Copies of this chain bind each other. A is one copy, B any other.
Amino acid sequence: MTTKKIMVGKIPIGAGSPVAIQSMTNTKTRDVEATTAQIEALVEAGCELIRVSVPDDESVEALPALIKSATVPLIADIHFRADLAIKSIEAGVAKIRINPGNIGAREKVAAVVLAAKKAGVPIRIGVNSGSLSKTVRALDVPAAQKLVASALENISLLEELDFDNIVVSVKSSDVMETIEAYRSLAGQVDYPLHLGVTESGTRETGALRSAVGLGALLADGIGDTIRVSLAADPVEEIDVARQILQAVGARRFYPEVIACPTCARCEIDLFPLARELKDRLKSSGKPLKVAVMGCVVNGPGEAADADVGLAAGQGKGVIFRGGQAVKTVPEAEFLSALLAAVDEI
Q: Which residues of A contact B (CB under 8 A)?
A: 24-30, 52-55, 59, 77, 79, 99, 102, 128-132, 137, 173-176, 179, 198-202, 204-209, 211-213, 215-216, 219-220, 229-232, 234, 237, 240, 243-244, 247-249, 256-266, 270-271, 274-275, 278, 291, 293, 297-302, 305
Question: How close is A290's CB to chain B, nearest CB, in angstroms?
Answer: 11
Q: Are B247 and A208 neighbours in the complex by a CB distance under 8 Å?
A: yes
Cα separation A257 to B211 with both chains bound (whole Å): 17
Q: Within the assembled complex, what's the spacing in Å between the Cα atoms of A142 and B129?
A: 39
How many copies of the shown chain assemble into the complex? Answer: 2
Chain B residues near A297 (CB-CB < 8 A): 79, 99, 102, 128, 130-131
Chain A at the B interface: SS class: mixed
**Please, which residue of chain B has its CB at the minimum distance from the CB of A217?**
B216
CA distance A241 to B54 in the complex (A): 39
Report which of B102, B211, B249, B264 forms a contact with A176, defined as CB distance below 8 A: B249
CA distance A247 to B211 in the complex (A): 10
Contact between chains at A291 and B24 (CB < 8 Å)? no
Residues of B contacting A30 in the complex (Cβ-Cβ under 8 angstroms) = 264
In the complex, chain B residues whose CB is within 8 Å of the CB of A256: 201
A-B complex: 6 closest residue pairs judged by Cβ atoms: A130-B298, A212-B215, A211-B211, A130-B301, A130-B302, A53-B264
Q: Which single residue of chain B is at the shortest CB-CB distance from A218?
A: B212
Question: Closest approach, in angstroms, between the C-beta of A161 and any C-beta of chain B?
Answer: 23
Q: Do B198 and A298 have beta carbons less than 8 Å apart?
A: yes
In the complex, are the beta carbons of A247 and B173 less than 8 A apart? no
A25 touches B264 (CB 8 A): yes
Looking at the assembled complex, report how far the CB atom of A20 sits from the nearest CB atom of chain B, in whole angstroms. Answer: 18
Query: Given A219-B179, A231-B262: A278 and B211 within 8 A (CB)?
Result: no
Neighbouring B residues of A275 by C-beta, 8 Å: 202
Complexed CA–CA distance, A208 and B79 (Å): 33
